[in-house]
């Protein structure tokens, strides 16, 4: 039996599989309804050529109005702060009210504050996500993440973008991402310090299933909540890699059950099968089971 718990800290929606879909591709937009990804990032930036930006915005306007996505988060990635398309993108976000707006190449906290001001009259549920994909952005990750705790702060998630980071630093693509790991962990640490989720970068070769699984396992071990995807073929592996493992679920249920016993309800530390378990482990178990409940609920509602 799976316990439904109420952890002390809020649990964000599952973000194991974050599928990026070009807003210019109407066929790809329509296909999102039948996919098992946790959320969809509708991209107006890199995947849309300058002469197609207006058409891509119209596609999203039609999609949100006529065939809105059910039971999954919706995120719109807009063009950069220095882009001529930024103002119209923001107007579209205010009109469509997705769950979040994703800002590319964020490099300083001021960009997050400016977007929060632009969204001042939008529902509080409309959050801001930030892509960490430049050297300066990674160096300023802690200051950027800290805006989440400011009054009116809307920052909810950091997404690391390694393609641009590799280009800017000259680090070549390599299995294991060995020279990128220190920078990736810096972003994870910044996110966790300020209560944010953090998403791993895309894996470019969607035909390399083994390589993708290995990179998902690495991302999960590094503490990422999920992975940004470029193809539906990557969804199942991401969900499995970043979802609660069966053995972790069983352990969490055992911890919750143990602390619910009358003789342990007031204890801070208990003996569970020869292992000392503290209340901090109970909190972790409750959060894992609450996350599992959200995952199961999404599948039921989709």
| 17 or 271, greater pLDDT | 17
8 A C-beta contact, residue 47 and residue 12: no
49-83 pLDDT tens trace: 999 999 999 999 999 999 999 999 999 999 999 99
3-state class (DSSP) for residue 241: helix
Q: What pLDDT does 1 receive? A: 43
- Note the residue count of the chain: 302
Whose tokens are 């977007």? That residue is 115
Residues 6+ apart with CB under 8 A from 148: 155, 156, 194, 195, 196
- % of the chain beyond a pLDDT of 90: 83
Written as one string, the DSSP assignment of 162-229 is: HHHHHHHHTPPP-TT-TTTHHHHHHHHHHHHHTT-EEEEPP-S-TT-HHHHHHHHHHHHHHT-SEEEE
* CB neighbours of residue 142 within 10 Å: 16
Residue 147 predicted with pLDDT over 90: yes
89-111 pLDDT tens trace: 999 999 999 999 999 999 999 99
Residue 112 predicted with pLDDT over 60: yes
* CB neighbours of residue 58 within 10 Å: 14
* CB neighbours of residue 23 within 10 Å: 27
State the average pLDDT over residues 245-261: 91
Q: What pLDDT does 6 receive? A: 57
Q: DSSP character for 12?
A: P
Cα separation of 42 and 59, whole Å?
A: 10
Q: DSSP character for 148?
A: G
CA distance readout (Å), 192 to 69, 148, 243, 281: 29, 11, 18, 17
Cα separation of 169 and 122, whole Å?
A: 37
8 A C-beta contact, residue 98 and residue 126: yes
Q: Which of 38, 21, 100 has its CA nearest to residue 72?
A: 38
Vertex 151: Cα angle to 89 and 16 (nearest 5): 60
pTM: 0.91
| 291 or 239, greater pLDDT | 239
8 A C-beta contact, residue 38 and residue 226: yes
């Amino acid at each position: 039996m799976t316990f439904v718990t109420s952890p002390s800290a809020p649990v964000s929606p599952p973000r194991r599989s974050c599928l990026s879909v070009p807003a210019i591709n109407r066929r790809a937009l329509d296909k999102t309804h039948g996919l098992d990804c946790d959320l969809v990032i509708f991209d107006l930036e890199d995947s849309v050529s300058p002469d197609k930006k207006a058409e891509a915005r119209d596609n999203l306007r039609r999609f949100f109005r006529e065939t809105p996505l059910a039971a999954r988060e919706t995120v719109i990635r807009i063009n950069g702060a220095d882009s001529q398309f930024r103002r119209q993108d923001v107007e579209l976000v205010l009109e469509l009210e997705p769950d979040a707006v994703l800002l590319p190449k964020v490099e300083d906290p001021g960009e997050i504050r400016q977007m929060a001001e632009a969204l001042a009259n939008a529902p509080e549920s409309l959050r801001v996500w930030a892509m960490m994909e430049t050297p300066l952005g990674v160096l300023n990750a802690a200051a950027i993440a800290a805006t989440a705790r400011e009054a009116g702060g809307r920052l909810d998630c950091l997404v690391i973008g390694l393609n641009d980071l590799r280009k800017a630093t000259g680090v070549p693509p390599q299995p294991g991402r060995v020279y990128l790991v220190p920078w990736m962990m810096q972003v994870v640490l910044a996110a966790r310090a300020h209560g944010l989720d953090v998403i791993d970068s895309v894996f470019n070769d969607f035909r390399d299933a083994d390589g993708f699984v290995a990179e998902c396992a690495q991302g999960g071990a590094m503490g990422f909540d999920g992975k940004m995807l470029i193809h539906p073929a990557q969804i199942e592996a991401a969900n499995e890699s970043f979802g609660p493992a069966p053995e972790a679920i069983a352990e969490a249920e055992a911890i919750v059950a143990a602390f619910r016993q009358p003789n342990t309800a007031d204890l801070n530390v208990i003996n569970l099968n020869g292992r000392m378990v503290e209340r901090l482990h109970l909190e972790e178990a409750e959060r894992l089971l609450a996350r599992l409940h959200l995952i199961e609920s999404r599948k039921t509602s989709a």
